[in-house]
Structure 1
Amino acid sequence: MLDLKAVEKDKKSGLPPVHLWHPEFCGDMDLVVKANGDWVHDGDKIKRAKMVTLFSHILWYEEGEYFLVTPVEKVRIQVEDAPFLVTKWRYIDTAKGPAIEFTTLTEDVKVLGVDCELWLEGSEQAERPYISMRYGMKAMLHRNVFYQLVEELVAVNTPQGSGMGLVSAGKAYLFILDE
């Protein structure tokens, strides 16, 4: 099992400095982050939100694989889609104007156009919305969040074209391209 005693948080970000740790690979852990945001260990959903948040804080993405990392251990886990799930959003004021603030199930907070980007991924019949997260990872927007944001769409012009989208912190994000 993973030794979590050595995990200390960076005082500025509130996250451990996972990017500074380079332990040897220790093997695989029976832990799966499901597409619906559940974290499942040995076939059982982890019900303690604080444990899931702790694990999410030591998550590392490398060459298409996910790992839980401490200063002395690195174990591989499985992720079905995205390791983070956006469950809340709200408008906030920023120096660049009104912005959309996202909160994940694990209480990560990202501001669209400031410290994260938004895109759609998948086929035209099944596109899913994602935002960028730390270390090259991504968070999928929960269906309810996506539907709420669709109600906020406005006309936008972007380098990809014109259509309907969102504006956050002065940056436009295209959702529906004008034909």
Structure 2
Amino acid sequence: MTACDTPPNPRARRVLLLPGWLDSGPGHWQTLWERQGAERVQQADWVWPRRGDWMARLDEVLLADERPALLAAHSLGCHLVAAWAAHSRHCMRVDAALLVAPPDLDKPDLPPQLAPWRPAVRRALPFPALLAFSNDDPFADEAASASLAADWGATPWPLGARGHLNADSGLGAWPEGLARLHALAAGPGG
């Protein structure tokens, strides 16, 4: 049997997409990754997100498949990862997380739909994480992003002036983000 004949590894990692409030639209990098085979974690309510419901849904999706997961979270999805990791008994199913543009939940102009997510869970994550942020994100300044990265034990990844790192940021399919996520899971030198 040659390498080309080798059957797929059933333990191969899957990429789970964790969109934020209101989900991710058609031009968003998460949607483009979904078209490449990543799996979007669907939530029952994107408009009035309930933290406990979102956490339970993530557990459900992780338990439905034996393969380890890589989490690719955007915006409120980053806070989902932190809250879930602080409470779930299934963290060992996650090999790494890419946390992109988490909002500052302490902002005074936070939409009322997100207020129940306060206070932000700030416990260190039990798996490697990379936190990508922009210096002109309207939902979190650099100091807030750096503070979350430090509290979560995530490596900060500043991307300059790119807004909320969404469809309007010009990232397209963002192959660098996906490559960095896989490299993070592979570990040093991997």
Q: Is this a same-fold pair by TM over 0.5?
A: no
Higher relative contact order (CA 8 A, sep 6+): 2
Is the radius of gyration larger for structure 1 or structure 2?
1
For normalisation by structure 1, the TM-score amounts to 0.28
Identify, as 1 or 2, the structure richer in strand: 1
